[in-house]
C-alpha cells in the first residue's frame, strides 16, 4: 500500500476484471431496464459502463483513513497545543483494532449518441475498512507517518437498496513506514 492506493487497487478491480465479474451482467441489465433501452442500443452503452464504474472507485484509501481518524475522539487529544507542543513528536501511537466505514454517493450519467438519458443515477458506495496493528507518529496535531499494521475491507455498491457489487480485500499490509500528512 502507498499513499496513492485507491479503492479499485485495494480491491484488485480493474475495468476488465469488473466487466467479467459475475455481478456485472446483473448491474448492466438492471440499468438497461431502468432506462428502457433495447439490447442493440444498450451494447454501445455497456462497453463504457465498466470504465465509468471504475472511476467511482478512484478514491484513495488514505482519504478514507483521514476522514475516519479526523472524527476519532482518541486522536483529538493530540491536537491540544498545550499538552502536545508543535515541536514534540509523539510516537508510536498505537491504535486498537478498529474499523472505518465510509459511504459515498457517486452518480452515473447514461448517454447514447451524446444524448443524456433521463436523470443521473445515484449509487451508494460503502466501504468498511478493518485496521489492525496500526502505529502512528504525530506532531503538531498532524499524523506524519503510519507504521506497520494491516487493512482488510468490504466494498458494496448499491442502487435502490439492491446490491450490485460486493467484494472483499485480502489483507493489505502497511509498509514499515509510510510518510503522510494528515491533519487530525
Q: What is the pLDDT of residues 167-180, one digit of tens each?
A: 899 899 888 788 99
Per-residue pLDDT at 19 exceeds 90: no
The H or E element spanning position 48 is helix 39-56
Question: What pLDDT shows up at residue 2?
Answer: 87
Question: What pLDDT shows up at residue 139?
Answer: 95
Question: What pLDDT shows up at residue 156?
Answer: 94
pLDDT tens, residue by residue, 127-161: 999 999 999 999 999 999 998 899 999 999 998 88
Instruction: Name which of 21-35, 68-82, 118-132, 147-161 the model is least confident about.
Output: 21-35
Among residues 125, 124, 108, the alpha carbon closest in space to that of 49 is found at: 108
For the chain, give the mean pLDDT. Answer: 88
Residue 27 near residue 160, CB atoms below 8 Å: no
**Side-chain half-sphere of 103: how many Cα atoms within 13 Å?**
6
Residue 178 near residue 146, CB atoms below 8 Å: yes
Question: What pLDDT shows up at residue 131?
Answer: 94
Whether the model clears a pTM of 0.85, i.e. scores above it, the answer is: no
Amino acid at each position: 500500500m502507498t499513499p496513492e492506493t485507491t479503492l479499485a487497487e485495494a480491491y484488485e478491480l480493474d475495468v476488465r476484471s469488473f466487466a467479467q465479474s459475475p455481478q456485472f451482467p446483473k448491474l448492466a441489465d438492471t440499468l438497461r431496464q431502468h432506462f428502457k433501452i433495447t439490447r442493440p442500443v444498450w451494447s454501445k452503452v455497456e462497453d463504457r459502463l465498466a470504465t465509468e464504474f471504475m472511476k467511482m472507485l478512484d478514491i484513495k484509501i488514505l482519504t478514507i483513513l483521514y476522514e475516519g481518524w479526523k472524527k476519532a475522539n482518541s486522536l483529538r487529544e493530540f491536537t491540544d497545543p498545550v499538552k502536545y507542543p508543535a515541536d514534540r513528536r509523539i510516537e508510536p501511537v498505537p491504535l486498537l483494532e478498529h474499523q472505518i466505514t465510509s459511504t459515498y454517493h457517486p452518480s452515473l450519467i447514461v448517454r447514447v449518441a451524446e444524448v443524456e438519458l433521463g436523470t443521473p443515477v445515484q449509487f451508494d458506495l460503502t466501504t468498511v475498512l478493518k485496521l489492525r496493528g496500526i502505529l502512528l507518529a504525530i506532531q503538531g496535531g498532524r499524523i506524519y507517518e503510519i507504521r506497520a499494521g494491516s487493512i482488510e475491507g468490504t466494498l458494496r455498491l448499491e442502487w435502490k437498496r439492491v446490491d450490485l457489487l460486493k467484494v472483499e480485500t485480502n489483507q493489505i499490509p502497511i509498509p514499515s513506514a509510510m510518510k503522510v500528512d494528515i491533519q487530525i
